[in-house]
Amino acid sequence: MEVRMLQREEHGRTRELWERVFAEDTKEFLDYYYTVKTLDNEMYVIEQEHQICSMIQLNPYEMRINDSEFLTHYIIAVATEERFRKRGFMGALLQASLKKMYDRKEPFTFLMPAAESIYHPYDFRYIYRQRGGKVCGSKERSVFHELQGNIYEMREASEKDCRKLAEFAEEILRESYQVVAVRTEQYYRRMLAEQKSEHGGIGMIEKNGKLVGSFFFAKEETYEIREPLLKKGEEEALPQAVFWLTKGNEAIFCDGWNLDVHNIKKSVTEERDRPLIMARLLYLPGFFESLRPRTTFSFTVEVTDPILEENNRRFLLESDGTKIAVSTAAKENDTDRQISIAALTQILFGWVPYTEEKLPEVLQKDLNKIEPADGVFLNEIV
């Protein structure tokens, strides 16, 4: 089989396969996707009988890990025509795309799995658990309230608001998270178009003329809110946003929130905390160097990676207490220094519970000298 990267002008050829495999997606959404997202994404395909029978798409995101920024790619639309399944096409596409991203020195890649078991053999592991729940609409302390100092005003964002939304999100997210997609004006322009393709938009929450919150919303049978970002102390704006959106006390799902729900407990009818995003480490020097040391150190790690041969080596990690420097050498097969790429992914992203191989005590102690990038906030869906 031959894996081929499509030219930009060929991207539209994959839409027919998408429509057959992901029949739940609407024409409006696919019109958006194949007009906007395919302008700068990558598609890898396998062709049989003069047609595309299997594909994988990589959508670019600028990612911030602590104080470093990198190009990363979100894996989406992993699909094979039903009669061509169980031939190893998906594995071939995944491995080819992983190697391409490694060659570009991308630190990791990420995806939202249809099932964990599909990607587990390729060393993807969960790194992000999304918090959310069902919230009832409430007009308390809203524009209807007599105390003017507590008024929240809701409005739908337009393109002219995208820079303001980006600046607000960057301020909020830098306070609490280590791994996030960089928010820019262009990011929000795309998100606005994406939400509109799903009969929604972006909501803005203002108080005394200042932006204190934002959220994405879409509507299928009912409204849904995604990633409500609120300044600390403004949590009760969320039930009011639900009231504004639904025009009533209806309870709707609000997922990917950054807030302490204690202040709005009476409005939350259901909470959920679910594993959502899996990731795989790629270019290890770049990822190691983006992390923060807890102390000074010098130690080695021998990594085992069944897909990316370049990661099968000995890494010397050194720190003066402010940054991490990385150099490489040939493996010495020191069992006290060995770790799989999957285990390293879980440890460096601080995933709990840890489910991989038991590590030698000395290696575990050394890796604990690195602060894990466990403040992950990834709610991107395409």
68-81 confidence digits (pLDDT tens): 999 999 999 999 99
Q: Is CATH 3.30.1050.10 the classification given to domain 283-371?
A: yes
Q: Which CATH superfamily is domain 131-275 in?
A: Gcn5-related N-acetyltransferase (GNAT) (3.40.630.30)
What DSSP element (H or E) covers 276?
Answer: strand 268-281
Per-residue pLDDT band for 143 (boundaries 50, 70, 90) equals: very low
Is residue 44 within 8 A of residue 96, CB to CB? The reply is yes
Residue range 52-76: mean pLDDT, rounded? 99
- Whether 249 shows a pLDDT value over 90: the answer reads no
Residue range 46-73: mean pLDDT, rounded? 98
Residue range 320-339: mean pLDDT, rounded? 94
- Whether 375 shows a pLDDT value over 80: the answer reads yes
Percent pLDDT > 70 in the chain is 97
Bond prior to 353 in cis (omega within 30° of 0): yes
Per-residue pLDDT band for 146 (boundaries 50, 70, 90) equals: very low
Q: Which pTM was predicted? A: 0.95
Tell me the CATH number for domain 3-111: 3.40.630.30
CATH fold match for the domains 3-111 and 131-275: yes
pLDDT tens across 153-211, in order?
Answer: 999 999 999 999 999 999 999 999 999 999 999 999 999 999 999 999 999 999 999 99
Q: How far apart are CA 44 and CA 41, in angstroms?
A: 10
pLDDT tens across 359-368, in order?
Answer: 999 999 999 9
Integer CA distances (angstroms), 115 to 111, 120, 157, 169, 326, in order: 11, 9, 34, 30, 34
Per-residue pLDDT band for 150 (boundaries 50, 70, 90) equals: low
Burial class (CB in 10 A: 0-12, 13-18, 19+), 353: exposed
What are the sequence ranges of the domains in the chain? 3-111, 131-275, 283-371
To the nearest whole number, what is the mean pLDDT of the chain? 96
